A and B are shown apart, each in its own frame.
Chain A
Amino acid sequence: MKVISQEQLNLWLADLLKQTVVVAPIEKHGKIQYQEINSISQIVWDFTRPELPPRNWVIPMTEPILFIEQGPTTVLKQPDLPHEKILFGLRPCDSRSFKVLDALFWDKEPADPQYARHRQALTLIGLACPEMWDSCFCTVVGGAPDDTEGLDILLTRIDDGFAVQAITEKGQALVSGLDLLQWSGVPADPSEARGLPKLHESAEWAAVFKDVFWKELSHACLSCRVCSFVCPTCRCYDVRDEVIAICPNGKVYERLRAWDTCTSMGYRRIAGGHNPRETQVKRLKNRFYCKFMYYPEDFGVLGCVGCGRCIDACPAGIDILEVVEKVDLKLAQAQI
């Protein structure tokens, strides 16, 4: 196995930072966040996972997707190409989330042009988790703390440096100039054998759609929607136009795309006021079913990467892992 010392890694990163934009985990107000860095000394090396997922770099919270110059005639302009970026220090759950988003935004025709523009500009370098933390459950949804899915390069901490795995050609090219050392050890297995529940196949979920436990669960939900905003794979969005300039001959608008969520009350409302998802339970259920049934059936990949952020963030204690467990229990009961 190839390894690199911390010192050499720092030098390499400092060099990359001179050439391109680097996003890495940093500490801000006592919390860890993925952010653009200006110095490698900002990088935090020991952390669980950043507060917010990295989807901001493919679907920013708010961004223009079209510029509209409306004068005597109308001119539409696409946004500039985003700068090439390296996302460094991604946890494997977060890098997997890019594959989840790719399946919908890029692989499913027609591709979303703005998503693709961002995605093409990214190089993903992961940092394997040394262990699974309390709310983590990546192994339930097909991942692992040292999973390489979605990554160009995976780094794994060993005694006095990092094991380096180049996953893609892009990753190979990036590490090709590095003076890597040979290491005969094997990194410790970070997967934890704690009693995590079994996730059922997407098709099996239909059988518990009408179960009363959803209603009971929804009584706790505050509709705060924070579960969606901290989720690396939630991707519902809103689009609106805003004026950015008023000129003698007309106006310039930007068409903005902004994070939104299916858990908000009016998300599904149609013209005339009919709302097919008017109750809390319907909205809550849609989010879980999207993750575990609809997304895999429609896009071929699970809509959850097991990061556990929604478990930590929910002020009402709604726990996605308990939901998975409950479904397992209900299906087992149904078999008796």
Chain B
Amino acid sequence: MLDTNSILTTPGLATIKGMKDLADNIKLVQVRFDDPDARKNFSYAPGQFAEVSVFGVGESPFGLASSSERGDIVEFAVNRVGTLTEALFRLDVGDQIGLRGPLGNGFPMDRFKGKNIVILGGGIGGAPLRPIIQTILDHRGDYGKLTILWAARSPDLLVFTDEYDLWQQAPDVEMFLTVDKAPAGWPHEEGLITTLLEKINPSTDNTITITCGPPIMIKFAMMTLEKLGFQPDQNWVTLEAKMKCGIGKCGRCNMGGVYICTEGPVFCFSEVRQFLESFV
């Protein structure tokens, strides 16, 4: 029987509960489904995404920036770069949007248990990595050492700055910040995330890495990781595409025969290298 009301294909209504400034031109949108059943059923893994509707403007995919385990407020980060994100910026608490999902595969957190984890986040690419950090902190004993490398072009583009203290206070967590060009008095690193990565030179032993950022950053991060001795199957990435459907129909996100929306957006780098249309 065909389910024409599935929340995978028809948006569920959700109300904006909060709009937080994350960085320059980047906001964190916090929403909650209007329907109590939808709140209960919308359970998602770190790395999954949703199609967000601004009614009258359209629909675009956003990586979910919250952890499903922490409650029924669903969060995603929005960078003001186009028509839909511009429209989202004009919305406020109490306004209704639509949400379709959860979509995509998400990170296999179970497979990461017992391992040391190195996280590489670039700019707004940090948003879908936040639920991984939250999950690790919420189940701290399940995972090994957590090393977070966080980068942006400039300090005003770093996301989730108000949470860094909390992250670093957790046991066995190290965090490093870098910006492409540092202003005077910047107490952290300067330069690309790859430079920082080489400097920190994390051990490859029982370690996996997770990277999210623009394609160019992923490409060079993978090269650097290889140089440091990481094998392709130790490195995980999450990719982006402007899917219209998010369910493998519209033909907008394939890389070779692989659909980012259904088979991804999370991939092991050993898979990405095999894509016919690989960018690495």
Q: Which residues of A contact B (CB under 8 A)?
A: 66, 68, 70, 73-74, 76, 78, 104-105, 108, 110-113, 116-117, 120, 206, 209, 235-241, 243, 251, 253, 255, 262, 267-272, 274, 276-277, 282, 286, 289-290, 293-294, 297-298
- Residue from B8, B79, B240, B257 within 8 A of A298 (CB atoms): B257
- Residue from B11, B55, B249, B254 within 8 A of A253 (CB atoms): B55
Would A110 and B8 count as touching, CB distance under 8 A? yes
* B92 CB–A CB distance under 8 Å: no
With A and B bound together, what is the CA distance between A71 and B214 in angstroms?
Answer: 38
Residues in B with CB closer than 8 Å to A243 are 56
A to B CB contacts below 8 Å, 29 in the list: A68-B55, A68-B56, A73-B96, A74-B96, A74-B98, A78-B4, A105-B249, A112-B9, A112-B249, A113-B2, A116-B4, A117-B4, A238-B250, A239-B245, A240-B58, A241-B57, A255-B59, A268-B253, A270-B240, A271-B81, A271-B85, A271-B240, A274-B214, A276-B255, A286-B254, A293-B257, A293-B276, A294-B254, A298-B257
Which residues of B121-175 are within 8 A (CB) of A?
Answer: none
* B18 CB–A CB distance under 8 Å: no
Known: A108-B249, A253-B55, A271-B79. 11 other contacts (CB 8 A): A70-B96, A105-B249, A110-B3, A113-B4, A113-B6, A236-B251, A241-B59, A253-B56, A276-B215, A286-B254, A298-B248
Residues in B with CB closer than 8 Å to A70 are 55-56, 96
Would A237 and B244 count as touching, CB distance under 8 A? yes
- How far in angstroms is the closest Cβ of chain A from B28? 17
* B196 CB–A CB distance under 8 Å: no
- How far in angstroms is the closest Cβ of chain B from A206? 6
Name the CB-closest residue of A to B241.
A270
Residues in B with CB closer than 8 Å to A76 are 10-11, 13, 98
With A and B bound together, what is the CA distance between A12 and B268 in angstroms?
Answer: 59
* B259 CB–A CB distance under 8 Å: yes
With A and B bound together, what is the CA distance between A253 and B82 in angstroms?
Answer: 20
- How far in angstroms is the closest Cβ of chain A from B142? 31
With A and B bound together, what is the CA distance between A262 and B57 in angstroms?
Answer: 22
Would B276 and A206 count as touching, CB distance under 8 A? yes
* B42 CB–A CB distance under 8 Å: no
Interface string of B41-81 (1 = CB under 8 A from A): 00000000000000111111000000000000000000101
* B36 CB–A CB distance under 8 Å: no
Residues in B with CB closer than 8 Å to A112 are 9, 245, 247, 249
- How far in angstroms is the closest Cβ of chain A from B252? 6
Using C-beta atoms within 8 Å of the partner chain, give the interface range for chain B: 35 or more
Would A276 and B277 count as touching, CB distance under 8 A? yes
- How far in angstroms is the closest Cβ of chain B from A45? 36
Q: Which residues of B contact A (CB under 8 A)?
A: 2-6, 8-11, 13, 55-60, 79, 81-82, 85, 96, 98, 214-216, 240-242, 244-245, 247-257, 259, 276-277, 279
With A and B bound together, what is the CA distance between A237 and B252 in angstroms?
Answer: 8
With A and B bound together, what is the CA distance between A269 and B55 in angstroms?
Answer: 22
Residues in B with CB closer than 8 Å to A240 are 58
Name the CB-closest residue of B to A209.
B276
- From known contacts A105-B249, A274-B214, A294-B257, infer whether A238 and B244 are also in contact, taking CB-CB under 8 Å: yes
With A and B bound together, what is the CA distance between A81 and B25 in angstroms?
Answer: 43
Would B58 and A298 count as touching, CB distance under 8 A? no
Residues in B with CB closer than 8 Å to A78 are 4-5, 10
Name the CB-closest residue of A to B59.
A239
- From known contacts A110-B8, A111-B2, A267-B252, infer whether A272 and B81 are also in contact, taking CB-CB under 8 Å: yes
Would A282 and B4 count as touching, CB distance under 8 A? no
Listed from nearest, the 8 A-B pairs whose CB atoms lie closest are: A294-B257, A236-B251, A113-B4, A253-B56, A68-B55, A110-B8, A74-B96, A239-B244
